[in-house]
A and B are shown apart, each in its own frame.
Chain A
Amino acid sequence: MSTTVVQPVPRSFGRMMGRGARDWAPAVAIFVLGIALWEGLVRGLDVQRFLLPAPSEILSTFWDERDTLVSAGLFTFKEAVGGFLIGSAFAVLVALVLARWRPLGNALMPYAIAANAVPIIAFAPITNNWFGILSPASKMAIAAVIVFFPVMVNTLRGLTSVRPESVELMRSYAARERDIFRRVRIPTSLPYLFTGLKVATVLAMIGAIVGDYFGGSQDALGIQIRRSAGIFAFEEAWAAIFVASVLGIAFYGAVALAERVVLSWHPSVRGGRE
């Protein structure tokens, strides 16, 4: 008997955090150092505040304006998440259809690629007209369309990158196409899907904020940033950017966490070899 066996990685939360702390320590140090450097440079060189305010000022502005900023942040976050969900759901559905009927996929793929090259954000003023300038639906539409392509392309690649023997094995069991999808293609596609979804979180936030720039409810993050910068309240603009960053990272982190749970079998998640 061969005995080279990798023991299952203990999955206790404490261990994960323990390992995490060691892995993350250098990154945290860099972060703290960077902020300190920024603060020191701004103060030491007396940088004009319209160029770059100090982190401490941004933070204190955030604290003073926290109610407005958090509510604006959540408003825009809802636009981003809504667009993400609609765009991703549609993308997965289309990928499934294209993987199931390959000739259709081959016929449509050139158009999908061409459509992907269209700068979607340019449509923002038009979606404002379609869905109403004050409705979050117009920003969701932008986010959804931006999110659609990376998720669709990744999922489709996952669904079709199944090894031929995996399919032959299923055929040897007289499996129907439906079984092959359920038991082979869909599980194979999950790591690809999550790669797409993680990219999508970032794109959805960008879509929602830039969508805000083209007008809409006053209680939106993009509007806050634009207005603050317009009246030279740069600390406020930066504080709003800070909120956008925190929400964006949280969004990405949530999807990455979901990936760890869903792909608990995957070597990359279990800390083993690929």
Chain B
Amino acid sequence: MNEQAAVVSLKSLTKDFARGGVRALQEIDLEVRQREFVSLIGPSGCGKSTLLRIIGDLVQPTSGEVVVNGKQAHQARLDRDYGIVFQDAVLYDWRTVAKNIALPLEMLSWDRTRRSERVGEMVELVELAGFEGHYPWQLSGGMQQRVSIARALAFDPPLLLMDEPFGALDEMTRERMNMELLRIWQESSSTIVFVTHSIAEAVFLSTRVVVLSPRPARITGIVDIDLPQPRNTDTREQERFFELVTQVRELLRTGDRSGEELPA
């Protein structure tokens, strides 16, 4: 496996919203390499979710180039090169847990046997065995988000896009989900781009943290997270963890000050 191959490559990416002519993103250059876990962090409304959707070809950039898995973002979407997880689990109420996870597999026209085999594996991976027949409303928020992660990974996409996936969960559940996500990331071969506005979460999870300024978002700085792998509950108590958190926080503050067009 070539560790240096870029899974996502953004070149001078700019996005203006048609309505009101608000500039959301300005001249973003970023490369995400294979097996990386990259977090995008920035103040609320800075455009980090928009950036994630541009990578997923769900929103079109105004200018610049987006290459995903070595092809144009549009082609990558048609080839189902990424899985996506939103802040809300976005499960379909009329489908059971198993059928929600099987949704992308149906779209890929997998046959029934192969689908149920794969769903079985995914249910094990996110530790939801026994809940296959439950409907989404019968699950807690954390369990729903697990189903959503299982669905995103079911077809083994090379890239996983996550838009504040744990933002709606309480602190305890969130930390547990962080551990789960790291385990899943290590067990799968995915590259992850993760949007969050929690500094601690970004530092704990990532191999690199990309700090964005307020709108229009520019990259204020990129922090390499050199905490040892695999990470565990002790990681959060290491001195290096706090240093990195401080470093990210200061970059966020720098970005705040340099935001000329809009006050924070």
Taking beta carbons and an 8 Å cutoff, which residues of A are in contact with B?
A: 1-8, 163, 165-166, 168-175, 179, 183-184, 187, 190, 265-267, 270, 272-273
Contact = CB atoms under 8 A, between A and B. Distances in A.
A135 B173 CA distance: 67
| Nearest 6 Cβ contacts at the A-B interface | A2-B142, A2-B140, A173-B107, A4-B140, A265-B94, A165-B90
A168 B107 contact: no
A6 B92 contact: no
Given A265-B93, A265-B94, A172 B138 contact: no
B86 A165 contact: yes
A265 B137 CA distance: 9
Nearest to B85: A169
Given A168-B58, A174-B77, A270-B135, A184 B107 contact: no
Classify chain B: how many residues form its interface, as a range: 35 or more
B133 interface: yes
Nearest to A171: B58
A174 B141 contact: no
A30 to B, nearest CB: 32
B137 to A, nearest CB: 5
Contacts of B53: 168
Nearest to A263: B94
A182 to B, nearest CB: 11
B56 interface: yes
Contacts of A1: 127, 142-143, 176
B84 A172 contact: yes
Given A166-B92, A168-B84, A272-B138, A2 B58 contact: no
Given A6-B137, A273-B137, A172 B93 contact: no
Given A1-B127, A265-B135, A266-B93, A183 B103 contact: yes
Contacts of A175: 107
Interface in B65-113: 77-80, 82-84, 86, 88, 90, 92-95, 103-104, 106-108
A189 to B, nearest CB: 11
A6 B144 CA distance: 13
A6 B138 contact: yes
A165 B148 CA distance: 12
Contact of A163 (B56, B82, B90): B90
A2 B90 CA distance: 18
Contacts of B140: 2-5
Contacts of A169: 84, 86, 90
Contacts of B78: 174
